[in-house]
Structure 1
């Protein structure tokens, strides 16, 4: 196992341990593990020790472990939409848990608030926040560009289509109509609504396809694509899911610049390391768990199941197999977080995912073509694809048991046990060969 992959596992386990043990116990366990690694296994690669210690230091200085005291004035950073938002920073640190607030008479946007919070739910970390001082964080030049462009585009498409475009291209999922979000979730394709690896992959593909028309060296081509991708990320909503996808895309482009062949497993591990160092509390983010579990199943499990022999329908069958593998590996998480089991939504993915991909392709292009071209050519295509998606959603939601809801609570340990069993099941041949 490579150094990067092993270090990625180390950081991932420590990130999970942050939610399982008190911080000082996590420190003791990490020190014990590193001593055992050095004296027991005689492993002396410096990267294992330095990055683990640096990650502990990062946690100590960047994570807020304290509960909110309703009597104290606190400082928070948040993104408000329709009077609600999630606390992204608490006293300039990441809160260990997801904490949500509601405010009165505050317009949408990113803010730094000073005020008092009063908890309104015993079951959930939801607070009413009394704002005593507000400082709105201004949009940068790239965000202003996309915002102005979006306003122009919305003149030629319906309001529902425009809000959907804003959600899937600019990351402002909150503006997508609630009934559409609920239907996407029931049909098992909610991943299309968030900036994810699919979106970034499409963006990179479009950029590289355009650059192919010019005689540019591979290194310069990937550098231009990386710069353009970075500008795009600066212009959209900076959610953790979009940043995760950007990390994977950036690693892919950098790998193409410096190496002939990309090691996807090392890239995956490196993305985990970078993600946790920037967002130490990533494991509390449901989209993080789903995204990386999907990537894990594609990178490590799908290759063991795909059809390698030449066949007329090989690509189609492998696509079905890949979707099936992903579905198997996200089911336990879905059950744990949402108490739902996606049963027949496996089938809706084959229809809605390609349509969503078409919308994303033309939606992204829309922001970089003259208004007249959008009006005549792209706007009718976007509107047509969106109308078809909405019609199909209305049909699919009438199908019973696409997703089954349960009230049973399962422990995290049991979920981990299920995943261990799944990995053993898929790797049973390799394990038997080592005996």
Structure 2
């Protein structure tokens, strides 16, 4: 299933199965829960074929996100890969449970979420690199204004990332039109 990318359209073959009822009286009844959601059958997939490539730009960005996750999984040790993924694309799935629990006990689990600080540091670092490469400040600001929405989509558009990208975008746009934008 590693060949399946976000946005692909595939044909599935399988069988319809009735959801299981609760076996112990008074416990959670999955069949009843699904019935209330207007779902009456489960589809058990046996094969996947005739997959088409994603055509949407957003889906291509999500495929890039999947590639980054798989690349870091192959390049780094498992305990480090999860933290790198959490800090770059906002995916905490590969962070080990013990590490996640330790961060929660310390009360700093928010450090594993992409925050405004991450976006600000990334934007400032890219701006500095572009200036060092000889790109003018105006062109660097324009390139970053184009990059920020892509990064928001790449990271899953968390509210903190949206807010930080919007603030960075306002600052960069203000610098382009020579407005003094104060923090």
Q: TM-score, normalised by structure 1?
A: 0.29
2: CA distance, partners of 1:232 / 1:207: 13
2: CA distance, partners of 1:132 / 1:249: 47
- After TM superposition, list the pairs within 5 Å mapping 1:226-245 onto structure 2: 226-245=145-164
Counterpart position of 1:151: 70
Q: Which runs of 5+ in 1 are unaligned?
A: 1-103, 105-114, 119-128, 265-435
Contact 2:100–2:109 under 8 Å retained in 1: yes
| Alignment length (residue pairs) | 138
Counterpart position of 2:165: 246
Q: Which runs of 5+ in 2 are unaligned?
A: 1-29, 44-53
Could you list the per-position Cα deviations for residues 374-427 of structure 1 after superposition, in whole angstroms to 9, with x for gaps in the alignment? Answer: xxxxxxxxxxxxxxxxxxxxxxxxxxxxxxxxxxxxxxxxxxxxxxxxxxxxxx
1: CA distance, partners of 2:159 / 2:42: 26
Counterpart position of 2:23: none
Counterpart position of 1:183: 102
- After TM superposition, list the pairs within 5 Å mapping 1:197-346 onto structure 2: 197-264=116-183
2: CA distance, partners of 1:170 / 1:188: 21
* RMSD of aligned alpha carbons: 2.9
1: CA distance, partners of 2:117 / 2:41: 41
Deviation at 1:208, TM superposition (A): 0.4
Runs (4+) of structure 1 exceeding 4 A deviation are 115-118, 129-134
Q: Flag the 1:195–1:260 CA change in 2: closer, same or farther, 3 A.
A: same
Return the structure number with greater helix share: 1
Deviation at 1:140, TM superposition (A): 1.2
Q: Flag the 1:181–1:216 CA change in 2: closer, same or farther, 3 A.
A: same
Partner SS state of residue 180, structure 2: coil
Contact 2:119–2:165 under 8 Å retained in 1: yes
1: CA distance, partners of 2:40 / 2:138: 50
Could you list the per-position Cα deviations for residues 48-93 of structure 1 after superposition, in whole angstroms to 9, with x for gaps in the alignment? Answer: xxxxxxxxxxxxxxxxxxxxxxxxxxxxxxxxxxxxxxxxxxxxxx
Q: Flag the 1:199–1:116 CA change in 2: closer, same or farther, 3 A.
A: farther
Q: Flag the 1:132–1:194 CA change in 2: closer, same or farther, 3 A.
A: farther
Counterpart position of 2:87: 168
Contact 2:141–2:176 under 8 Å retained in 1: yes
1: CA distance, partners of 2:36 / 2:148: 38
- After TM superposition, list the pairs within 5 Å mapping 1:2-81 onto structure 2: none
Deviation at 1:130, TM superposition (A): 4.7
2: CA distance, partners of 1:252 / 1:167: 26
Contact 1:171–1:242 under 8 Å retained in 2: no
